[in-house]
Amino acid sequence: MKDHLDLKAYAKINLGLDVIRKREDGYHEVRMIMQTVNLYDRIEMDRTEDGVIRTETNLPFVPDGEGNLAWRAAKLLLDEKGIKDGVTIKIRKYIPVAAGMAGGSTDAAAVLVGVNRMFDLGFTKKELMERGVKLGADVPYCIMRGTALAEGIGEKLKRLPKVPECYVLVGKPGINVSTKTAYENLNLAGIGKHPDIDGLIRDIEDGDLYAMASKMENVFEPGIIRQYPVIGNIKELMEEKGALKAVMSGSGPTVFGIFDNRDKMAAAARSLRKSGLAKTVFATDIYNRDGGVTNDK
C-alpha cells in the first residue's frame, strides 16, 4: 500500500462529435473522436485510517463530498473491496469547469487509478474502465487517454493512432453550457450533414494534420452558437489568427483551435486574451503519451 500519491488528470477535446439517434432508454448514440490535451488538474491523495473519504478543491463552486465525482469514484472501489481505511483527495482545478473538456470525469478517472494503486487492489485498466462507466460516460476514456473513437453513449472505445504533432489553443467564454442544454438545442431530424467521423479516422491513420483539421466538426455547434454567439466569435478569431480549424468541444462552451506552428498559436492566444471574448485561455498541445492516468509530478 502507498500512503501518498500525486496524480495528473488530463483534459480532453472532441476532434469530431456526432449524435446518431436517441435510444429508447433516453440516452443518445454518439460517435466521437476523443483526444487528450496537455492541460490537467493536479490531485493529491493521502491514505487515512479513519475510514472517511474527504475531497477538497481550490474552487468554491466545485462541490466536496458526495456531490463530487471523485468522491464517488473512491467510494465505488473502497466499498467493492471492503476497504476500511479512508482517503483524503485534494483537487487543484485547472481544467475549466462545465466546459466540455471532461474535467469532472477525468478527476474521477484519476481517483479510480489512484485508489487502485494506493490499496494494491489489482484491477486492470479494462476493469477500471468497466467500473468508470457507472460514474459517467466519459470516465472510461479518461482512464484510457490518447486518441480514440467513442461510440454507444461514449463508453465503447477503440484506440486510434496518434494524431500528428500540433498545438492547441483553448478558449472558454464566461458562460456554462450543460449537456442537457446542448441536447435541447439539437434538432436531430433537421441535421442536413453529419460530421465525417470515418473520414477523420482515415486522416488520423494517414497522419494528415491538414485533412484532419478540415473535417473537424461538432454537431452541437449550430444550436449552441445560436444561443451563445460568443462561441462563434471565438471560433472566428482563432481562425483569423491562423488556426487550421476551430471547433467547440463536447457540449461547450469551450472552443479549441488546432495550429501547425507554436509561435502562431502564441500570437493567437495574445489576441484572444486581448479581445475579452474568452474568460479562460490556455495555449498547449496534444498529449499523446500511451497508458492510463499518470502519477508523474
Has 12 been annotated as catalytic? Answer: yes
Q: How far apart are CA 297 and CA 44, in angstroms?
A: 10
**Given the residues 18, 41, 107, 138, the one annotated as active site:** 138
Q: How far apart are CA 28 and CA 207, in angstroms?
A: 30
Q: How far apart are CA 212 and CA 223, in angstroms?
A: 23
> Do residues 208 and 214 lie in contact, with contact meaning Cβ atoms separated by under 8 Å?
no
Name the β-bridge partners of 170: 256, 282
Residues 185-223 as b or e (16 or more Cβ within 10 Å = b): bbeeeeeeeebbbeebbebbeeeebeebbebbbbbbbeb
> Do residues 249 and 99 lie in contact, with contact meaning Cβ atoms separated by under 8 Å?
yes
CA 222 to chain CA centroid, nearest Å: 21
Has 263 been annotated as catalytic? Answer: no
> Do residues 89 and 43 lie in contact, with contact meaning Cβ atoms separated by under 8 Å?
yes
Q: How far apart are CA 41 and CA 282, in angstroms?
A: 13
Give the β-pairing of 53-57 and 86-92.
parallel
Q: Name, in order, each residue with C-beta under 8 angstroms of 162's C-beta and a sequence gap of 6 or more.
A: 146, 147, 286, 288
Catalytic residues: 12, 138
